[in-house]
Amino acid sequence: MSIQQSTTGQLRPEASRAVPHPLDQLSIEESDYAREVILNARGSQVAINFRSIFLEEPPKHELSRFLELENAGRVTSHTPRPARVAKIQYDVIREDRKHEYMESCVDVVSGKETHQRVVEKMHQPALTTHEFREFSEACVESPVFKKAVAEFDLPEGFVVAIDPWPYGGPDPSEIAPRYTQGLCFARDTRNGNEDSNHYGYPLPIIPIMDTYSKEIVRVDRLATGGKEDGLTYGTHKRDVLSHCSPAEYVPELLSQPLRTDVKPLNVTQPEGPSFKVDGNLIEWQKWRFRVGFNPREGATLHDVRYDGRSVLYRLSLSEMTVPYGDPRPPFQRKQAFDFGDAGAGRAANNLALGCDCLGTIKYFDAVLTEPDGKASLSKNVICLHEQDNGIGWKHTNFRTSRAVVTRLRELVVQFIITLANYEYIFAYKLDQAGGITVETRATGIVSVVNIDPGKTSPWGNVVSAGALAQNHQHLFCIRIDPAIDGLNNTVVAEESLPMPMSKEINPYGSGYEVRQTPIKSSQYLDASPWTNLTVKMTNPSKLNPVSGKPVAYKFIPSASQLLLAHPDSIMAKRAQFATHHVWVTKYKDGELWAGGEFTNQSQKETDGVSDAVARNENTENDDVVVWNVFGLTHNPRVEDWPVMPVEIHQLHLRPADFFSANPAIDVPGSKNKASVLAPSESCCESGSVQKAPASHMQGSGPDLDPKSKL
């Protein structure tokens, strides 16, 4: 995928383009060139089905050397650059219709295929939107599926809608080829609106398709009973939707009027934004970094620096898994890895001005790959904008009543993905005090299954008549590749602990100990609110001139619930990354995926963070990676229906003795002249600072001159 720097998506002719930066994503021309190389290399005796073509990031030792020269202003036209390489993921289809999944690397300057591998049959690549479309088409044509649908008496005017899903982890004894499955619903067409919500009418069947043969091989039947029915099946009637009710959310179909008392709230920047964009390079308020985009992770940040000092080499969302907690078969397989099974970049929304991002917006486009390998432009997949997040810092001198206050302005890099029923909003937020926040927001429509009238279930909550929203978890992993004033860093686990009382050290029991433990070899940690576990990424070779401590960035891992599936379950075995809050590993090129490279239909996590930690490598004063896992245990509420309000989580990376003072102390505290008082009948409002400090019980007594006489 390739970031385009114009919101129009127009590319300059190749002859007029500057030499691309090593982190510039592939252009349309480069992507199409890589396609031609593969087609020529494989020959005309086979068919090629392309999945993705995107930039293969250079090895770290090469790229970091180039970045250091660049940031020192020493790059010239003669400076050696890392090879510009495209990674191509594709299926080779032979005459016997057998598929081989292959990956190749192509140097887009020389046109040479520099690497090739045939992936083992035990691994399945991610699903694509084109496979999802083929699945829906196969269901519509399948006699097996039509027969299953005929078991129900659907109301007149209803049609069957199918949500494609990854198959999940096959059972231990199951031999599963490449499968796609689907959750089925009925949509009411009588209102003539194609956006009518089908999720209010769940059907208790799941068709399974052999993805390569396009054949529906079976249709699984689902239990619809309540807590009294256990694992009993077939309790529903033929008119399975008679007790279900509409669940509309588009404005024109709502049964209630929209609010009329919401006044406009505009974000205006009359002098334009404070950021500067040059290609994929972004500069704002002493920050400088590059933004990337790829089919699996979506937006990524690279070479993140503050005031010329290195903070992060790379920051990304590595993986997320959504396991469902309904034990009734086949729901033991209802578990999605949204990055590995499908791809956040492939599912990225085309963002709309004035809706998804407010203010003065800079958009970035991406180049996707069609099944024939040709590049296609996807508009506005990333938005860049500034936002106000309240007060940044403030102090009032109670003696003089003078207040100095500054606002906390943030620069936001945001993208949004839609995966069937759910939406996820991901944002990297950089602030003027040197902080970085990674934010996730979950919204969309909870996944529901049919439940018999009048029944309840321990495996979820009835959110609408006939619709059981199943209990589930959302477990995310953020990959942090620190470069705290350089690549050699040490992770330190800091805990604040109570101390015993003693006459020598703690006679009154008020003291507590701050204990710091360096992580010397790869391992995992778990959040501990009882000890305020803080993860510090330090550079032990550079000390803060004020405190004398190593410069660092820190975060406090959220004590959110981890994976609930039984350790012996397939669900747990294929998501080992979700069993601990923090993993610390030694850097390895290409090791980007917390749950392993291949999650689709996996039965265990392979080459994920668990395996990386098992190598037991040195992580002291070395090139390290920190992985932070957090999650949302979502036991649905009625208020989550028909579309759930956002559930928000934030990871806060903050400087810890990195600077010699508050780096935002120089932010001007100018008064916002556009702010006005709201209309009021009160005669006492002035908007000024309190002028009688004594009323705050602060006092306003005189100062003592130390030279005065006793």
9 φ, ψ to 5°? Answer: 75, 10
Gap between the Cα atoms of 63 and 451, Å rounded: 55
Gap between the Cα atoms of 183 and 531, Å rounded: 44
34 φ, ψ to 5°? Answer: -60, -40
Q: Which two tokens stand for residue 643?
A: 């579309």
Is the CB of residue 441 less than 8 Å from the CB of residue 227?
A: no
Indicate which residue of 188, 338, 365, 657 is catalytic: 338
Q: Tell me if residue 363 is catalytic.
A: no
CA distances (Å), origin 83, targets 63, 216, 343: 10, 45, 26
Is the CB of residue 380 less than 8 Å from the CB of residue 363?
A: yes
Letter for the amino acid at 206? Answer: I
Indicate which residue of 201, 313, 363, 422 is catalytic: 422
Q: Tell me if residue 422 is catalytic.
A: yes
Run of H or E residues at 612? helix 609-614
Gap between the Cα atoms of 602 and 610, Å rounded: 15
Is the CB of residue 509 less than 8 Å from the CB of residue 603?
A: no
Q: By C-alpha distance, which of 415, 363, 406, 357 is closest to 386?
A: 357
130 φ, ψ to 5°? Answer: -70, -35
Is the CB of residue 487 less than 8 Å from the CB of residue 533?
A: no
Run of H or E residues at 144? helix 143-149
How many other CB atoms are there within 10 angstroms of residue 680's CB atom?
Answer: 8
Is the CB of residue 595 less than 8 Å from the CB of residue 628?
A: no
Residues 6+ apart with CB under 8 A from 110: none
- As annotated, the active-site residues are 338, 422
